[in-house]
């Protein structure tokens, strides 16, 4: 599939490909809201590798991942969680104590202009747009608001002795 313009994509396969494309082209900040943190959705090897490369290529880069308490239990074996543990200064995961009031389905924001989001938790469709700052801004502001209220979770941190 060609990901150079806005289009509807399948979920989870097209969503993963679109998210990987956005991450590969991002330079500064990835914001990912994944309520269930399922490995099949956000732990795809291509996506995790693209995120790892982006974070390692730019000292200013960062990734912020928000999930739910349900995501904590499912995310223990997720490669994305492992990446966050290994690159804890660049990639952070926080947990929401209650679901958000808006934008409740999975989404990924790349820098301030790229977006892929699931239309709803029940639908198997998502929307991708690589360059839509006007559509990214409301989700970005909402994500940052939630980020301030979310907390880190002990099960998602790296254990060191």
Query: Per-domain residue ranges for the chain?
Result: 7-155
Average pLDDT score over the chain: 88
List all residues 6 or more positions away from 135 whose beta carbon is below 8 Å from its beta carbon: 115, 129
Q: Which residues of 6-18 are buried (b: 16+ CB within 10 A; e: fewer)?
A: eeebebbebbbbb
> What is the second-level CATH architecture of the domain 7-155?
2-Layer Sandwich (3.30)
Local confidence band at 75 (pLDDT 50, 70, 90 cut-offs) = low
Predicted confidence (pLDDT) per residue in 137-151, tens digit: 999 999 999 999 999
Nearest to 123 by CA among 4, 14, 33: 14
Report pLDDT for 74: 64
Mean pLDDT over 91-102 rounds to 88
Q: For residues 87 and 81, what is the distance between their CA atoms, to the nearest angstrom?
A: 10
Nearest to 26 by CA among 95, 102, 90, 85: 90
Q: For residues 81 and 114, what is the distance between their CA atoms, to the nearest angstrom?
A: 22
pTM: 0.91
């Amino acid at each position: 599939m060609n990901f150079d313009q806005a289009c509807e994509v399948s979920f989870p396969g097209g969503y993963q490909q679109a998210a990987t494309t956005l991450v590969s082209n991002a330079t500064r900040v990835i914001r990912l809201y994944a309520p269930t943190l399922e490995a099949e959705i956000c732990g795809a090897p291509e996506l995790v590798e693209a995120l790892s490369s982006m974070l390692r290529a730019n000292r200013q880069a960062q990734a912020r991942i928000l999930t739910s308490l349900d995501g904590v239990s499912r995310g223990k074996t997720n490669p994305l969680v492992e990446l966050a543990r290994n690159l804890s200064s660049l990639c952070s995961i926080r947990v929401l104590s209650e679901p958000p009031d808006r934008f409740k389905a999975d989404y990924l924001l790349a820098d301030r202009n790229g977006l892929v989001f699931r239309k709803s938790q029940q639908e198997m469709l998502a929307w991708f747009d690589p360059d839509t700052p006007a559509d990214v801004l409301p989700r970005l502001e909402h994500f940052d608001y939630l980020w301030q209220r979310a907390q880190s979770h002990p099960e998602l941190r790296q254990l060191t002795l």
